[in-house]
Amino acid sequence: MEKEQPPEREPRPPANDNGCDTDKAIDPRILRIAQAIGRQLAREQVKLSPVANDNTPRQR
């Protein structure tokens, strides 16, 4: 008895392949908004997290 061969399929593109649109320039307004959001997130993170400092002065 011969083994059945699976049907040949065409290769599929990756699921996360959104194409190659690198030739289009990104709108400068979008870049500015992204920068502002990043800066705001950084400010909030600095306010929330205490600085780790193990160089406390010794008690004499």
CA 32, 38, 41, 45: dihedral to nearest 10 degrees? -140
What is the per-residue pLDDT across 30-49, written as a single tens digit (0 to 9) for each? 999 999 999 999 999 888 76
Give Cα separations from 44 to 12, 28, 38, 41, 48 (angstroms): 43, 25, 10, 5, 6
Encoded tokens for 43: 């400010």
pLDDT higher than 90, residue 57: no
What confidence score (pLDDT) does residue 23 get?
A: 65
1-29 average pLDDT score: 76
Is pTM, for the whole model, over 0.85? no
